[in-house]
Amino acid sequence: MPAADLSTATVTTRLTVEIPTTVSLNGTLRARIVETDQEVAVPVTLEPGENRPEAVITLDNPRLWWPAGQGEQFRYAVQISLAIDGETQAFSRKVGVRRVEMDQSPHPIEGRYCILHINNRPIFCKGGNWVPPDMLYSAVPVERYDKLVQLALAANFNTLRIWGGAEYAPHALLDLCDEHGMIVWHDFAFACAQYPAHDPTFAAEVRAELTFITRELAHHPSLVVWCGNNEIEWGDWSWGYDNNTPAHPHYVIFHRDIPRILAAEDPVTLHWMSSPWSPDYKTPNDPTVGDQHPWTVSMEPGGADFWKYRGNIDRFPNEGGVLGASSPATLRQFLPENERYLYSPSWDHHDNPFAVHDSTPGELGHAYKTVELWTGLDPLSMPWEEYAFVSGLLHAEGLAEYISNYRRRMYDSASAIFWMYNDSWPVTHGWTIVDYYLRKKLAYHPVRRAFQPVTVVVADEGEQVVVYGVNDTPAVWCGELRYGLFMLNGRPPRVPNGETFGARPVDERIPATLPANCAVALAAIPRVESWEPLGLTDSGAFALLLRDDAVVAQHRLFVERFKDLRFSEPAITLDAKAASLTLTADAFAWGVCLDVDGELPLPDNCFDLLPGIPYTLPWHPKLGEPKIVRLGNRDAVAGEMTSRL
């Protein structure tokens, strides 16, 4: 994509002025940019009715607004005043200068790329879908928006998608996104339905709403994509609407009205027709063109087989997810004490329909089947607190798989945006990593680690296990890669001929250089020759990125389900010092949890320990004595752990 000229920028101040009189009025519109001390004064004549006077200022070598992690979020203060007959109204706005484009050039294998460019730089979009943080939209205080944005930033988000089935983002939210560099993809408020645009009254209301909201929000630099709707093109294409319903009754809204309104009111923000949408007139959810909602993994009968994400090639995935139970503390807060069990009336009332029900009457719901599929446990025989941990741990695994798959494919895939970030009310099972009470679910920290600016991904590619380094920063990263195979019990393996290998049959260390803003293959392990002889239920593949011997990122890969892995009882040591905590295990430890309720301000949680490799995290004495409260090996699989002997 040719680079655009960023040496100048135009700041257009446009007012909407309603004159209720029957005569014209003369006045002066003034606009001033505080930081450059540039000012223009424009004589205006305002006619009866609506007027749109404007003033234009050109900036030379403007300071740019960048997404989080890419540069500064500079904003100019613009002062505006309108004087008429000696009376003046004045107000101000903060605006950012950025250029937004979508690279849809042909892909060398199939379809087209779909890469968001901001200021001539490709951006890999990392984040989640946003829904109103309360069922009473107007009751949300600014502090709640601020907390949610801060939690998203701490989880290494750079993108929020405002879903079209809810409300338009309030200024309080967008101001925070402007300030902190959070990209906003904003659906217009249409979702999952057919709309009667053939009704002239309805169509007029829609045009008025679209015009108003576009004018209202256009000055926010974080708002980089206006999307026509959520899943309406997809629904028209493949949801099997009644034949008596007019085909595409809303076509004019999304293909005529919205493009015209945006061209007039906000031409510098990218317009996307629908989500998902394939501009080449392929199926709207085609994985090789446009954006995608990869839902087939989580909606399959029998539970969410989230390892299937490993094969997804979606160009711009921005809605897909996995269900997981809320934390025990949250469940205790809204469930009466006598209804704290699976399928109680209150449990079901607060549950997600996909979790509760199955297409076959009398069968377990989808979320419960996911637990069965991966762990071999019977959900109905589990204490509810134990079930909440297991479901939450699998939720974490699923989202980490979703994110890691797309990040290693950067920029064949150019986003990893999941459903969804936050909740509107307290739920039993949900898609989110932060619940209604703003507690961190078990998936929060695994998602944070998967979104790290510099990370490593171990991928199963058939005959080989390939290790990818991922760097979405604008600078080259240099360090060291350690990668190989490990035995779950931490002991040297024995193969049929009696030969004994070392504790890690492959354990290599090589220099690693990650170019800026890309993913690269760093190493590979032959699967048949090196891994399979060790027993796929007894071993895994791993990789670490290190700098100055400190672990920067860690990843592991299994190809057998957790219920089939031969876990051993690990001996874990915890060494707390003044500012850090180091954990070491002699056998693999899955899902080490220091807090299942999501209430402690922990810097990390729900992580794995590789045999013999220390895991260090910041630790403040105010956090108290560290304690492992749950462990996947012990609490999330059927059967007993094996002896290490």
Assign residue 538 the CATH number of its domain. 2.60.40.10
Percent of the chain with pLDDT over 70: 95
Kindly report the number of other CB atoms within 10 A of residue 238's CB atom: 11
What's the order of all strands across the beta sheet hosting 87-95?
38-46, 25-33, 76-84, 87-95
pLDDT > 80? residue 140: yes
Is residue 139 located within the same domain as residue 214? yes
Is residue 126 located within the same domain as residue 24? no
Is residue 75 located within the same domain as residue 155? no
Domain count, the chain: 5
User: Tens digit of pLDDT for each residue in 377-406?
Assistant: 999 999 999 999 999 999 999 999 999 999
Is residue 518 located within the same domain as residue 605? no
Give the pLDDT of residue 504. 55
Query: What pLDDT band is residue 85 in, cutting at 50, 70 and 90?
Result: confident
User: Tens digit of pLDDT for each residue in 177-190?
Assistant: 999 999 999 999 99
Query: How large is the average pLDDT for residues 196-200?
Result: 91
Residue 1 lies in a domain: no
pLDDT > 60? residue 501: no
Give the pLDDT of residue 596. 96
Residue 393's closest CA among 540, 559, 562?
562
Residue 76's domain comprises 8-95
Is residue 508 located within the same domain as residue 635? no
Q: Helix/strand/coil (H, E, C) string of 334-378?
A: HCCHHHCCCCCHHHHHCCCHHHHCCCCCCCCCHHHHHHHHHHCCC
Give the pLDDT of residue 301. 78
Q: Helix/strand/coil (H, E, C) string of 527-589?
A: HHHHHHHHCCCCEEEEEEEEECCEEEEEEEECCCCHHHCCCECCCEEEEECCCEEEEEECCCE
Question: Residues 316, 413: contact at Cβ < 8 Å?
Answer: yes
Would you state the structure tokens that stand for residue 638, as one six-digit string? 């059927």
Is residue 66 located within the same domain as residue 132? no
Alpha-carbon gap, residue 182 to 68, rounded angstroms: 6
Residue 133's closest CA among 95, 96, 82, 176?
176
Please tell me which residue, 583 or 239, carries the higher pLDDT value.
583
Is residue 86 located within the same domain as residue 12? yes
Is residue 480 located within the same domain as residue 537? yes
Handedness of CA 304, 305, 307, 311 (dihedral sign): negative
Is residue 120 located within the same domain as residue 232? yes
Give the pLDDT of residue 460. 97
Is residue 282 located within the same domain as residue 337? no
Report helix, strand or coil for 333. helix
- Single residue among 565, 598, 629 that ends a domain in this structure: 565
Average pLDDT over the chain reads 94
Query: How large is the average pLDDT for residues 608-626?
Result: 95
Query: What pLDDT band is residue 120 in, cutting at 50, 70 and 90?
Result: very high
- Single residue among 565, 594, 615 that ends a domain in this structure: 565
Residue recorded with tokens 């045999």: 611
User: Tens digit of pLDDT for each residue in 429-467?
Assistant: 999 999 999 999 999 999 999 999 999 999 999 999 999
Give the pLDDT of residue 259. 97
Q: Where are the alpha helices (DSSP H) in 376-491?
A: 384-408, 444-450
Residue 216 lies in a domain: yes
Residue 473 lies in a domain: yes
Query: How large is the average pLDDT for residues 474-500?
Result: 85
Alpha-carbon gap, residue 551 to 643, rounded angstroms: 29
Is residue 300 located within the same domain as residue 269? no
CATH of the domain at 356: 3.20.20.80
Is residue 135 located within the same domain as residue 264? yes
Query: What pLDDT band is residue 626 in, cutting at 50, 70 and 90?
Result: very high
Query: What pLDDT band is residue 503 in, cutting at 50, 70 and 90?
Result: very low
Give the pLDDT of residue 463. 93
Query: How large is the average pLDDT for residues 365-382?
Result: 93
Residue 499 lies in a domain: yes
Residue 3 lies in a domain: no
CATH of the domain at 578: 2.60.40
Question: Residues 594, 553: contact at Cβ < 8 Å?
Answer: no
- Single residue among 47, 74, 95 that ends a domain in this structure: 95
The secondary structure of residue 474, as a DSSP letter, is: S
Residue 616 lies in a domain: yes
Alpha-carbon gap, residue 116 to 633, rounded angstroms: 41
Query: What pLDDT band is residue 645 in, cutting at 50, 70 and 90?
Result: very low
